[in-house]
């Protein structure tokens, strides 16, 4: 199988990830739940993971790194910390349901900063116009999970600072390949999964907490301040109720170390090279519509396409039968499809990682060509 679905989960991981998880199962207990060696090793591993994340994302304080179960978990904490019923929230037109559903569930008034696909300047202008209404918060994805569109988050963050509007960044598709700078952005929160560009296991996530007043989504034991009947007022304990996923954290630590050693620039360069190769191959095929940016800095390693006269789910299934693992449909992001004009038909998405090769992309293009000829 040729795996081109890393925007969902990076299936191919550094070998150290699995080794670290297996080691943790029989070596690590729970941090803060005892002074015995297994508990101490767990505490050391958890702190080492926080330090690795803080180093990668240029955070001064590792205790602002909070462990979650996913980017969705992280975003729910961030959104519920800043947004209440009736509050006006400004979002991009490329947000995932992990953003839009919590906002609708809270009864927030959602305004969308709409712009054409891959038009970074128009996207910035749309946020500038939307910020004039003084929303309670801004939520913006760094990279569209459907189209790989890299939004100008740094410039959007500067606008938010000028207006003193708190910013939540969804870094689900950017963490590990693009610079994520929460302190430079002045972001209240930055949310990310562990199992995508950080090459960790499923069931892991991070929430980087800046200036936002964090409200617990769960309440319970933390291993600290046990006499209190309210959650501790300090991070990370305030947001980490319950038993830690130590095998997951150990695996995430290995993934973070891989990214730090390899370098985000090198990973992004490889993904973009594979993207360019795929675009060149698909460009010569009749009946293929693909979504590629004219400027390289406007797109990360995600390529959406459609096969003329063929339902996207049918096309994705046909390619799966030929050994190409992709994702087809709406990708949990109907707002992004609405923005791009693909809501009715959906798309097939190929997404690359540091473990894909030019030979795999060549085979992918060849199989798409066979599909078209059929």
Q: In the structure, what pLDDT confidence band is assigned to residue 213 with cuts at 50, 70 and 90?
A: confident
Measure Cα distances from 343 to 303, 334, 336 in Å.
16, 6, 8
Mean pLDDT of 171-177: 98
Residues 9/213, Cβ–Cβ less than 8 Å: no
Cα separation, 337 vs 304, in Å, equals 11
The SS3 of residue 59 is coil
Residues 237/219, Cβ–Cβ less than 8 Å: no
> Which residues, other chains included, contact 366 with Cβ-Cβ below 8 Å and sequence gap of 6+?
none
Residues 322/370, Cβ–Cβ less than 8 Å: yes
Considering only CA atoms, which of 63, 72, 51 is closest in space to residue 253? 51
Q: Residue 294 burial by CB count (10 A; 0-12/13-18/19+): exposed, middle or buried?
A: exposed
Q: Is pLDDT at 304 greater than 90 in this prediction? A: yes
- Say whether domain 2-10+264-373 belongs to CATH 3.40.50.300: no
Q: Strands of 109-113's sheet, edge to edge? A: 65-68, 205-209, 189-193, 167-170, 137-141, 88-92, 109-113
DSSP class of residue 167 equals E
The SS3 of residue 193 is strand
Q: How far, in whole angstroms, is CA 132 from its chain's centroid?
A: 28
pLDDT digits 0-9 by tens, 226-238: 999 999 999 999 9
Query: What is 86-133 written as a DSSP string?
Result: T-EEEEETT--HHHHHHHHHHT-EEEEE---TT-HHHHHHHHHHHHTT
Q: In the structure, what pLDDT confidence band is assigned to residue 359 with cuts at 50, 70 and 90?
A: very high
Q: Residue 23 burial by CB count (10 A; 0-12/13-18/19+): exposed, middle or buried?
A: middle
Cα separation, 182 vs 165, in Å, equals 15
Q: Is pLDDT at 374 greater than 80 in this prediction? A: no
Q: In the structure, what pLDDT confidence band is assigned to residue 32 with cuts at 50, 70 and 90?
A: confident
> Which residues, other chains included, contact 229 with Cβ-Cβ below 8 Å and sequence gap of 6+?
none
What are the residue ranges spanned by the domains of the chain? 2-10+264-373, 15-262
CATH architecture of 15-262: 3-Layer(aba) Sandwich (3.40)
pLDDT digits 0-9 by tens, 266-302: 999 999 999 999 999 999 899 999 999 999 999 999 9
> Which residues, other chains included, contact 300 with Cβ-Cβ below 8 Å and sequence gap of 6+?
143, 148, 150, 173, 174, 177, 178, 268, 271, 272, 275
Helix (H) or strand (E) holding 339: helix 334-340
Mean pLDDT of 125-149: 98
Residue 33: per-residue pLDDT = 87
Mean pLDDT of 90-109: 98
Q: In the structure, what pLDDT confidence band is assigned to residue 34 with cuts at 50, 70 and 90?
A: confident
Q: Is pLDDT at 27 greater than 90 in this prediction? A: yes
- Per-residue exposure over 215-244, b if at least 16 CB sit within 10 Å of its own CB, e if not: ebbeeeebbeeeeeeebbeebbbbbbeeeb
Return the percentage of the chain with pLDDT > 70, whole number.
Answer: 100
Mean pLDDT of 51-55: 98
- Residues forming a β-bridge with 299: 149
Residue 36: per-residue pLDDT = 95
Q: Backbone phi, then psi, for 271, in 5-degree steps? A: -60, -40
**Mean of the per-residue pLDDT values for the chain?**
97
The SS3 of residue 65 is strand
The SS3 of residue 273 is helix
Q: Is pLDDT at 211 greater than 90 in this prediction? A: no
Residue position matching structure tokens 């979650």: 68
């Amino acid at each position: 199988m040729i795996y081109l679905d890393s925007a969902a989960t990076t299936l191919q991981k550094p070998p150290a990830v699995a080794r670290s998880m297996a080691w943790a199962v029989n070596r690590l207990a729970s941090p803060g739940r005892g002074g015995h060696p297994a508990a101490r090793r767990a505490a050391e591993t958890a702190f080492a993971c926080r330090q690795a994340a803080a180093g990668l994302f240029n955070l001064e304080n590792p205790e602002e790194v909070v462990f979650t179960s996913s980017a969705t978990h992280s975003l729910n904490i961030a959104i519920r910390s800043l947004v209440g019923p009736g509050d006006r929230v400004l979002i991009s037109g490329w947000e995932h349901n992990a953003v839009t559903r919590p906002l609708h569930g809270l009864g927030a008034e959602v305004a969308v900063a709409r712009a054409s696909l891959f038009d970074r300047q128009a996207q910035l202008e749309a946020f500038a116009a939307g910020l004039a209404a003084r929303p309670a918060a801004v939520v913006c994805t760094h990279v569209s999970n459907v189209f790989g569109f890299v939004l100008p988050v740094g410039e959007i963050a500067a606008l938010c600072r000028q207006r003193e509007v708190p910013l939540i960044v969804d870094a689900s598709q950017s963490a590990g390949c693009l610079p994520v700078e929460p302190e430079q952005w002045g972001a209240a929160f930055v949310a990310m999964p562990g199992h995508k560009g950080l090459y960790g296991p499923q069931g892991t996530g991070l929430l980087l907490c800046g200036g936002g007043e964090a409200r617990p989504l769960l309440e319970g034991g933390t291993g600290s301040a046990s006499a209190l009947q309210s959650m501790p007022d300090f991070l990370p304990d305030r947001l980490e109720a319950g038993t830690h996923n130590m095998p997951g954290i150990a695996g995430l630590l290995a993934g973070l170390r891989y990214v730090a050693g390899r370098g985000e620039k090198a990973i992004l360069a490889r993904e973009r090279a594979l993207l360019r190769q795929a675009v060149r191959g698909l460009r010569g095929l009749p009946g293929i519509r693909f979504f590629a940016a004219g400027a390289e800095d406007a797109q990360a390693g995600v390529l959406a396409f459609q096969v003329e006269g063929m339902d996207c789910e049918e096309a994705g299934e046909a390619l799966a039968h030929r050994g190409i693992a992709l994702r087809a449909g709406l990708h949990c992001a109907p707002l992004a499809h609405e923005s791009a004009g693909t809501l009715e038909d959906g798309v097939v998405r190929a997404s690359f990682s540091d473990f894909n090769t030019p030979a795999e992309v060549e085979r992918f293009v060849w199989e798409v060509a066979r599909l078209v000829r059929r």
